[in-house]
Structure 1
């Protein structure tokens, strides 16, 4: 039964992804963090239907990633929990562990 459940979940996620990427986002409103200058590189976000989100770089606006509402929520909650914080390491100015 677990295999059947996994296959159904995978099929559902593929359908959601296909539907998300089939959306016409030509007229979506892109937003970025306050204070960002037009000439600066920044991440831009657009709200899509059913809580989905599109994300792109201002320097590469033709490459757009799309996330379901559940994926976006998981990302935001992870970011708030520090899951994506950079850990100081020797190559980025931090110290190595002894």
Structure 2
């Protein structure tokens, strides 16, 4: 597998708790956290877009209050 070009979220600071994303050559999106970089979630661009739209709409706010 080719090396992935991981991009850190602009909302992440220089400390821990950073989220990284990478576009894989097969068209999938890879997601990992800085504190556990060996655990990688794989999703599709459409599913990631749906999730991000839900986050922006506040659909998950009840989980963090």
Normalised by the length of structure 1, the TM-score is 0.53
Q: What pairs with 1:46-85 in structure 2 (closer than 5 Å)?
A: 46-48=22-24, 49-50=26-27, 52-85=28-61
Matched, 1:31 2:10: no
Give the Cα separation in 1 of the matches to 2:60 and 2:23.
22
Give the Cα separation in 2 of the matches to 1:85 and 1:29.
30
Tell me which protein shows more strand as a share of its residues: 2
CA RMSD of aligned residues (A): 2.0
Give the Cα separation in 1 of the matches to 2:16 and 2:30.
20
Tell me which protein shows more helix as a share of its residues: 1
Which gives a bigger RCO, structure 1 or 2 (Cα 8 Å, sep 6+)?
Answer: 2
